[in-house]
Amino acid sequence: MATIHLFQSTVATAVVCLLSISSASSEEPKIDKAAPAVGSPATHEGKELLTEVRFPDAKSLRPFAFSDPAAWRWGFSDKDGRYLELFQKSKYKTEVRSPFNIALLKDQKFGSVMIDFEVQQTGKEYAHRDLCFFFGVQDRSHYYYVHIASASDPHAHNIMIVNGAARKSISKSTTDGHDWGAHEWHHIRVSRDIKSGKIEIFANDMATSIMTATDKTFGAGWAGFGSFDDTGRIRAIRVYGEADAKTDKALDFFKSQGE
Protein backbone atom coordinates (compact mmCIF):
# COMPACT_ATOMS: atom_id res chain seq x y z
CA MET A 1 0.00 0.00 0.00
CA ALA A 2 2.85 2.37 0.81
CA THR A 3 4.24 1.82 -2.67
CA ILE A 4 0.87 2.67 -4.27
CA HIS A 5 0.50 5.88 -2.23
CA LEU A 6 4.03 6.95 -3.21
CA PHE A 7 3.27 6.33 -6.91
CA GLN A 8 0.01 8.31 -6.69
CA SER A 9 1.81 11.20 -4.97
CA THR A 10 4.51 11.25 -7.66
CA VAL A 11 1.93 11.31 -10.46
CA ALA A 12 0.01 14.13 -8.79
CA THR A 13 3.17 16.20 -8.46
CA ALA A 14 4.02 15.65 -12.12
CA VAL A 15 0.54 16.72 -13.23
CA VAL A 16 0.77 19.93 -11.20
CA CYS A 17 4.16 20.71 -12.77
CA LEU A 18 2.85 20.08 -16.28
CA LEU A 19 -0.16 22.32 -15.69
CA SER A 20 2.10 25.08 -14.38
CA ILE A 21 4.36 24.87 -17.45
CA SER A 22 1.34 24.93 -19.80
CA SER A 23 -0.10 27.99 -18.05
CA ALA A 24 3.22 29.87 -18.14
CA SER A 25 3.80 29.14 -21.84
CA SER A 26 0.56 30.91 -22.80
CA GLU A 27 1.70 34.15 -21.17
CA GLU A 28 4.15 36.78 -22.38
CA PRO A 29 7.71 35.85 -21.31
CA LYS A 30 8.79 37.53 -18.09
CA ILE A 31 11.73 39.49 -19.40
CA ASP A 32 13.94 41.35 -16.98
CA LYS A 33 16.69 42.21 -19.42
CA ALA A 34 17.15 45.94 -19.72
CA ALA A 35 19.65 47.26 -22.25
CA PRO A 36 23.18 47.56 -20.94
CA ALA A 37 23.61 50.93 -19.26
CA VAL A 38 24.52 53.74 -21.61
CA GLY A 39 26.03 56.41 -19.40
CA SER A 40 25.28 56.59 -15.69
CA PRO A 41 21.78 56.87 -14.20
CA ALA A 42 21.75 60.60 -13.42
CA THR A 43 24.86 62.29 -14.80
CA HIS A 44 27.68 61.54 -17.20
CA GLU A 45 30.89 63.51 -17.78
CA GLY A 46 29.38 66.32 -15.72
CA LYS A 47 26.22 66.45 -17.84
CA GLU A 48 22.72 66.06 -16.47
CA LEU A 49 20.39 63.31 -17.70
CA LEU A 50 17.72 65.28 -19.58
CA THR A 51 15.72 62.50 -21.21
CA GLU A 52 15.69 58.72 -21.03
CA VAL A 53 13.56 56.39 -23.15
CA ARG A 54 13.24 52.62 -22.90
CA PHE A 55 10.55 50.34 -24.31
CA PRO A 56 8.79 48.27 -21.62
CA ASP A 57 5.57 47.99 -23.67
CA ALA A 58 3.82 49.25 -26.81
CA LYS A 59 2.78 52.47 -25.03
CA SER A 60 6.44 53.48 -24.88
CA LEU A 61 6.26 54.41 -28.58
CA ARG A 62 4.14 57.45 -27.69
CA PRO A 63 7.07 59.90 -27.32
CA PHE A 64 7.93 59.42 -31.02
CA ALA A 65 6.77 60.84 -34.32
CA PHE A 66 7.55 58.82 -37.45
CA SER A 67 8.06 59.52 -41.13
CA ASP A 68 5.82 56.45 -41.62
CA PRO A 69 4.31 54.94 -38.43
CA ALA A 70 3.39 51.72 -40.28
CA ALA A 71 7.07 50.80 -40.64
CA TRP A 72 7.65 50.67 -36.88
CA ARG A 73 6.49 48.36 -34.09
CA TRP A 74 7.21 47.43 -30.48
CA GLY A 75 8.88 44.06 -29.94
CA PHE A 76 10.50 41.78 -27.40
CA SER A 77 12.43 38.54 -27.17
CA ASP A 78 14.18 36.57 -24.45
CA LYS A 79 17.55 37.33 -26.03
CA ASP A 80 17.15 41.01 -26.91
CA GLY A 81 14.73 42.35 -24.32
CA ARG A 82 12.22 45.03 -25.34
CA TYR A 83 12.73 47.46 -28.19
CA LEU A 84 11.34 49.74 -30.88
CA GLU A 85 11.79 48.07 -34.27
CA LEU A 86 12.01 49.47 -37.78
CA PHE A 87 10.87 46.28 -39.54
CA GLN A 88 10.15 47.46 -43.09
CA LYS A 89 10.94 50.33 -45.43
CA SER A 90 8.80 53.42 -44.93
CA LYS A 91 6.38 54.54 -47.59
CA TYR A 92 7.58 58.08 -47.15
CA LYS A 93 8.41 60.51 -49.92
CA THR A 94 11.24 62.85 -49.05
CA GLU A 95 11.37 66.40 -50.38
CA VAL A 96 15.07 65.98 -51.23
CA ARG A 97 17.40 62.97 -51.33
CA SER A 98 17.60 61.98 -47.64
CA PRO A 99 16.72 59.10 -45.28
CA PHE A 100 13.30 57.49 -45.53
CA ASN A 101 12.98 55.85 -42.12
CA ILE A 102 12.91 58.32 -39.23
CA ALA A 103 11.64 58.22 -35.63
CA LEU A 104 12.03 61.47 -33.66
CA LEU A 105 11.44 62.31 -30.01
CA LYS A 106 8.55 64.62 -30.69
CA ASP A 107 8.22 66.86 -27.63
CA GLN A 108 11.71 68.26 -27.00
CA LYS A 109 14.36 70.09 -28.98
CA PHE A 110 17.96 69.63 -27.92
CA GLY A 111 20.95 71.97 -28.22
CA SER A 112 24.41 71.07 -26.91
CA VAL A 113 23.93 67.47 -25.81
CA MET A 114 25.40 64.00 -25.75
CA ILE A 115 22.95 61.33 -26.97
CA ASP A 116 23.55 57.63 -26.29
CA PHE A 117 21.73 54.97 -28.32
CA GLU A 118 21.63 51.20 -27.84
CA VAL A 119 20.88 49.73 -31.29
CA GLN A 120 20.90 46.62 -33.45
CA GLN A 121 21.11 46.53 -37.25
CA THR A 122 18.88 43.74 -38.64
CA GLY A 123 19.42 43.98 -42.40
CA LYS A 124 21.56 41.97 -44.77
CA GLU A 125 25.25 42.74 -45.18
CA TYR A 126 26.30 45.11 -48.00
CA ALA A 127 28.43 48.25 -48.28
CA HIS A 128 25.67 50.71 -47.32
CA ARG A 129 24.12 48.58 -44.56
CA ASP A 130 23.26 51.35 -42.14
CA LEU A 131 21.56 52.94 -39.20
CA CYS A 132 21.08 56.70 -38.91
CA PHE A 133 21.03 59.03 -35.92
CA PHE A 134 19.32 62.40 -36.29
CA PHE A 135 19.92 65.67 -34.44
CA GLY A 136 19.38 69.38 -34.94
CA VAL A 137 16.21 68.54 -36.90
CA GLN A 138 14.31 71.68 -37.97
CA ASP A 139 11.84 70.18 -40.43
CA ARG A 140 11.61 67.48 -43.10
CA SER A 141 14.44 68.90 -45.19
CA HIS A 142 16.71 70.70 -42.73
CA TYR A 143 18.73 68.63 -40.25
CA TYR A 144 21.91 66.75 -39.41
CA TYR A 145 22.30 63.00 -39.25
CA VAL A 146 25.10 60.51 -38.96
CA HIS A 147 25.01 57.56 -41.34
CA ILE A 148 26.92 54.59 -39.86
CA ALA A 149 27.49 51.94 -42.49
CA SER A 150 29.62 48.91 -43.30
CA ALA A 151 31.77 50.89 -45.74
CA SER A 152 32.56 54.55 -46.28
CA ASP A 153 32.08 56.66 -49.40
CA PRO A 154 30.77 60.21 -50.02
CA HIS A 155 27.18 59.02 -49.39
CA ALA A 156 27.77 56.52 -46.59
CA HIS A 157 29.40 56.33 -43.16
CA ASN A 158 29.66 60.08 -42.74
CA ILE A 159 28.14 62.96 -40.80
CA MET A 160 25.58 64.47 -43.15
CA ILE A 161 23.63 67.68 -43.53
CA VAL A 162 20.26 68.02 -45.26
CA ASN A 163 19.78 71.72 -45.96
CA GLY A 164 16.97 72.05 -48.47
CA ALA A 165 18.93 69.92 -50.93
CA ALA A 166 20.22 66.36 -51.27
CA ARG A 167 22.21 65.19 -48.25
CA LYS A 168 25.94 65.81 -48.32
CA SER A 169 28.85 64.91 -46.09
CA ILE A 170 30.31 67.49 -43.70
CA SER A 171 32.76 65.08 -42.04
CA LYS A 172 36.25 66.25 -41.20
CA SER A 173 37.20 62.68 -40.38
CA THR A 174 35.64 59.23 -40.60
CA THR A 175 36.69 55.58 -40.68
CA ASP A 176 36.55 52.89 -43.35
CA GLY A 177 33.26 51.56 -41.99
CA HIS A 178 31.55 49.88 -39.05
CA ASP A 179 31.07 46.16 -38.48
CA TRP A 180 27.42 45.72 -37.47
CA GLY A 181 27.83 41.95 -37.09
CA ALA A 182 24.86 39.60 -36.81
CA HIS A 183 22.27 40.13 -34.05
CA GLU A 184 24.67 42.32 -32.08
CA TRP A 185 23.81 45.36 -29.97
CA HIS A 186 25.93 48.49 -30.34
CA HIS A 187 26.41 51.61 -28.23
CA ILE A 188 26.38 54.72 -30.42
CA ARG A 189 27.03 58.23 -29.11
CA VAL A 190 26.37 61.59 -30.77
CA SER A 191 28.11 64.50 -29.04
CA ARG A 192 27.32 68.03 -30.19
CA ASP A 193 28.24 71.55 -29.10
CA ILE A 194 26.16 74.16 -30.91
CA LYS A 195 28.37 77.09 -29.89
CA SER A 196 31.52 75.73 -31.49
CA GLY A 197 29.70 73.58 -34.04
CA LYS A 198 31.73 70.55 -32.97
CA ILE A 199 30.18 67.14 -33.66
CA GLU A 200 31.71 63.83 -32.58
CA ILE A 201 30.44 60.30 -33.16
CA PHE A 202 31.44 57.21 -31.17
CA ALA A 203 30.65 53.51 -31.66
CA ASN A 204 31.19 51.05 -28.78
CA ASP A 205 34.55 52.61 -27.85
CA MET A 206 33.65 55.86 -26.11
CA ALA A 207 37.29 56.97 -25.89
CA THR A 208 37.91 57.30 -29.64
CA SER A 209 35.57 58.99 -32.10
CA ILE A 210 34.80 57.36 -35.46
CA MET A 211 33.69 60.64 -37.10
CA THR A 212 34.05 64.36 -36.51
CA ALA A 213 32.65 67.51 -38.08
CA THR A 214 32.24 71.22 -37.38
CA ASP A 215 29.10 73.01 -38.54
CA LYS A 216 26.87 75.80 -37.17
CA THR A 217 24.11 75.80 -39.78
CA PHE A 218 21.37 74.60 -37.42
CA GLY A 219 20.73 75.35 -33.76
CA ALA A 220 18.69 73.26 -31.35
CA GLY A 221 16.42 70.67 -32.94
CA TRP A 222 14.64 67.36 -32.52
CA ALA A 223 16.63 64.13 -32.34
CA GLY A 224 16.02 60.48 -33.10
CA PHE A 225 16.90 57.26 -34.83
CA GLY A 226 16.29 55.40 -38.11
CA SER A 227 17.88 54.24 -41.33
CA PHE A 228 18.30 55.45 -44.88
CA ASP A 229 16.62 52.34 -46.29
CA ASP A 230 17.44 49.40 -44.00
CA THR A 231 15.96 47.90 -40.81
CA GLY A 232 16.99 47.92 -37.17
CA ARG A 233 16.07 48.09 -33.50
CA ILE A 234 16.65 50.46 -30.61
CA ARG A 235 16.22 49.64 -26.94
CA ALA A 236 17.56 52.67 -25.07
CA ILE A 237 18.10 56.39 -25.59
CA ARG A 238 19.66 58.76 -23.07
CA VAL A 239 20.22 62.46 -23.61
CA TYR A 240 22.74 64.33 -21.42
CA GLY A 241 23.41 68.06 -21.29
CA GLU A 242 22.99 71.27 -19.34
CA ALA A 243 19.49 71.94 -18.05
CA ASP A 244 18.87 74.64 -20.69
CA ALA A 245 19.90 72.29 -23.54
CA LYS A 246 16.36 70.89 -23.68
CA THR A 247 13.33 72.92 -24.79
CA ASP A 248 9.75 71.66 -24.79
CA LYS A 249 8.55 72.00 -28.36
CA ALA A 250 6.05 69.75 -30.14
CA LEU A 251 6.95 68.45 -33.59
CA ASP A 252 4.23 68.85 -36.23
CA PHE A 253 5.59 67.45 -39.51
CA PHE A 254 5.59 63.68 -38.77
CA LYS A 255 2.91 61.40 -37.28
CA SER A 256 2.61 59.37 -34.12
CA GLN A 257 1.23 55.84 -34.27
CA GLY A 258 -2.56 55.86 -34.37
CA GLU A 259 -2.80 59.22 -36.11
What averages of pLDDT result for each successive group of 10 residues across the chain (259 residues)?
Answer: 45 42 36 40 78 94 96 95 96 95 96 97 95 97 98 96 98 98 96 97 97 98 96 97 90 84
The answer to whether the beta carbons of residues 103 and 64 sit under 8 Å apart is yes
Q: What does the alpha-carbon distance between residue 224 and residue 103 come to, in Å, rounded to a whole number?
A: 6
Q: Determine the pLDDT at residue 3.
A: 46
31-248: in CATH 1.20.810.10? no
Which uninterrupted H or E stretch holds 21? helix 2-25
Q: Map out the domains of the chain as residue ranges.
A: 31-248
Q: Determine the pLDDT at residue 97.
A: 95
Q: Determine the pLDDT at residue 2.
A: 46
Q: Determine the pLDDT at residue 63.
A: 94
Distances (CA, A) of 59 to 62, 73, 74, 76, 147: 6, 11, 9, 13, 28
Q: What does the alpha-carbon distance between residue 135 and residue 117 come to, in Å, rounded to a whole number?
A: 12
Q: Determine the pLDDT at residue 232.
A: 98
In DSSP notation, 120-158 reads: EE-S--STT-EEEEEEEEEETTEEEEEEEESS-BTTBSE
pTM, two decimal places: 0.83
Q: What does the alpha-carbon distance between residue 222 and residue 49 come to, in Å, rounded to a whole number?
A: 16
- For residue 207, what is the DSSP state? T
Q: Determine the pLDDT at residue 42.
A: 72
